[in-house]
């Protein structure tokens, strides 16, 4: 469901804008000056859309179009190749996404859910409110670069640019260029294709640039930030399993989860996934300390079939299961249980899977492999973050993952901000995803998108000798656009339903 506060804020904001606009336009004193201000600044207001248009960037576009005409010709010709390939690829991608969405709706398979190629993004629903600045900034940058491509390509093909503008539709920002339609219709279909494909081509290039920066970020920040020495904690959710006096704190460097080494944030996630899928790790404990403690009561079976022997619900004690060395010769082996202080028992203790693993340790024959007796899917995990003592976690591993935010970058100097690499990394990720999404969506042969004009120009450039009748070419284009529009609409509708209804 869409959060009610978000809807209230959006509707309230637009109501305030309309109310102010209506009051000023109905005022006899301020009406003329208000309308004159709107006209001089290129501002227009329509239902749920605010537009601003200017000519101040026309000289910049003209300068870019004159830099190197031959290089620009090769550049935008490459954009035509990409645009045609992207048009076909976008249709294939949307068809595959639609098939996967329908399969997910009928089977509710988590595996299929992870294979979904495209996803509708709704702020406050499947986009965290803390990420809104990244999202809108990356979306606006992608839109500006997209329209920059159209403007420079148009001027290179001798098509006049009337102006450049930005808009806000509901909450989504965007950009546009106003081309002189008469000039556009006079150029050849191949020239039109270079203009129409320039937007998605620039989005694709921006996606590659952001992706390159994302991979080169450790190298670019190497003089001031180090990587590979652990995962730096940047945020701990209050009241979470990782919070507390002996939990994790901002600035801690996590180097391991049990025997799984952590050199970065990706290792943290992969180690937790591995620990949640593998059996609980055991610990080599001296056999002399394994005297069953009946002070807590006799071991009893939980509802899930596991055993517990700590009946006092102590936060410092944990029930361990083991096989007594004296019972090795007996068949069948019956596990015994002992309630022991967990931190004392496992601090600095080597891990094991069975008693044989303890033979190679210092206390060779005197050690026994003990395993925490826990409920299904619950794990006991030692989190290593030197120089502090281990953080001990008992629970469901994904809960630990969602409790902590980490980064790969550790500042070399104390005055450096911990969140700077996180900001750059997150912003690059959003630019990659949103600029790539704009390249895909605008390539779809759909009404009102770049794909419509790309398809029409492509048909005019390729089918003139095959289908000589212009009306037939337009009819072919109409049905292709109708199919592409239906495919895109079906993906958006089902995507919205999947996001908001579940």
Active site residues: 147
Q: What is the largest CA-CA distance in the chain?
A: 102
State the pairing for strand pair 336-341/351-352. unpaired
**CA angle in degrees (0–180, nearest 5) for 138-142-146:** 170
Complete DSSP assignment for 15-38: HHHHHHHHHHHH-TTTHHHHHHHH
3-state secondary structure 351-369: EECCHHHHHHCCCHHHEEE
Q: Give the count of beta carbons closer than 10 Å to the beta carbon of residue 482.
A: 13
Query: Do 225 and 411 form a contact (C-beta atoms < 8 A)?
Result: yes
Query: Do 255 and 384 form a contact (C-beta atoms < 8 A)?
Result: yes
Helix axes 450-462, 470-501, angle to 10 degrees: 150
CA–CA separation, 82 and 443 (whole Å):
10
State the pairing for strand pair 300-301/307-308. antiparallel
Between the alpha carbon of residue 325 and those of residues 164, 357, 367, 372, 468, the distances in Å are 81, 14, 9, 18, 92
CA–CA separation, 62 and 194 (whole Å):
17
Helix axes 69-107, 189-220, angle to 10 degrees: 80
What single-letter DSSP state applies at residue 330? S
Which DSSP helix (H) or strand (E) runs through 240? none
Helices (H) and strands (E) in the chain, counts: 14, 20
Q: What size, in residues, is the chain?
A: 502
Tokens 């079906």: give the residue. Answer: 490
What single-letter DSSP state applies at residue 187? S
Query: Do 369 and 316 form a contact (C-beta atoms < 8 A)?
Result: no
What single-letter DSSP state applies at residue 127? B
Complete DSSP assignment for 54-74: ESTTHHHHHHHHTS-HHHHHH
CA–CA separation, 258 and 260 (whole Å):
6
Burial of 353 (C-beta count, 10 Å sphere; 0-12/13-18/19+):
middle
């Amino acid at each position: 469901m869409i959060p009610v506060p978000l809807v209230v804020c959006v509707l309230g904001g637009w109501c305030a804008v309309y109310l102010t606009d209506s009051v000023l336009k109905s005022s006899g004193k301020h009406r003329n000056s208000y309308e004159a201000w709107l006209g001089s600044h290129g501002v227009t207001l329509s239902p749920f859309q605010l537009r601003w248009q200017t000519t101040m960037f026309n000289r910049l576009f003209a300068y870019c179009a004159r830099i190197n005409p031959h290089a620009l010709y090769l550049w935008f010709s490459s954009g035509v190749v990409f645009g045609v390939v992207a048009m076909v690829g976008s249709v294939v991608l949307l068809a595959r996404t639609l098939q996967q969405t329908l399969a997910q709706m009928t089977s509710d398979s988590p595996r299929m859910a992870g294979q979904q190629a495209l996803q509708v993004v709704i702020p406050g629903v499947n986009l965290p409110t803390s990420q809104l600045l990244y999202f809108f900034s990356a979306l606006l940058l992608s839109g500006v670069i997209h329209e920059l491509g159209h403007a420079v390509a148009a001027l290179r093909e001798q098509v006049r640019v009337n102006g450049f503008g930005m808009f806000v539709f509901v909450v989504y920002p965007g950009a546009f260029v106003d081309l002189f339609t008469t000039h556009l219709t006079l150029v050849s279909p191949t020239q039109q294709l270079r203009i129409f494909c320039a937007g998605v081509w620039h989005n694709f290039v921006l996606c590659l640039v952001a992706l390159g920066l994302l991979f080169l970020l450790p190298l670019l920040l190497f003089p001031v930030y180090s990587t590979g020495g652990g995962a730096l904690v940047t945020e701990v959710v209050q009241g979470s399993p990782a919070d507390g006096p002996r939990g994790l704190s901002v600035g801690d460097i996590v180097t391991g989860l049990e025997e799984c080494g952590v050199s970065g944030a990706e290792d943290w996630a992969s180690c937790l996934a591995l620990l949640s899928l593998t059996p609980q790790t055991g610990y080599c404990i001296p056999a002399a300390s394994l005297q069953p403690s009946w002070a807590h009561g006799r071991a009893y079976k939980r509802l899930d079939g596991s055993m517990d022997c700590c009946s006092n619900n102590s936060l410092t004690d944990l029930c361990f299961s083991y096989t007594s060395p004296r019972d090795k010769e007996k068949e069948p082996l019956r596990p015994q249980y002992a309630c022991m202080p967990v931190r004392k028992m496992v601090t600095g203790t080597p891990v094991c899977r069975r008693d044989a693993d303890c033979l190679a340790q210092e206390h060779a024959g005197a050690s026994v492999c003990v395993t925490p007796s826990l409920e299904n899917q619950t794990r006991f995990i030692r989190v290593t973050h030197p120089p502090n003592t281990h953080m001990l976690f008992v629970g469901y591993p994904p809960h630990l993952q969602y409790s902590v935010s980490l980064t790969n970058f550790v500042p070399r100097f104390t005055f450096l901000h911990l969140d700077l690499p996180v900001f750059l990394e997150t912003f690059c990720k959003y630019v990659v995803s949103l600029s790539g999404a704009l390249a895909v969506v605008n390539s779809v042969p759909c009404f009102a998108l770049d794909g419509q004009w790309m398809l029409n120009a492509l048909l005019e450039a390729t089918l003139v000798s095959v289908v000589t009748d212009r009306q037939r070419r337009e009819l072919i284009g109409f049905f292709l656009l109708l199919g592409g529009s239906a495919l895109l609409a079906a993906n958006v509708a089902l995507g919205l339903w999947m996001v908001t209804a579940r």
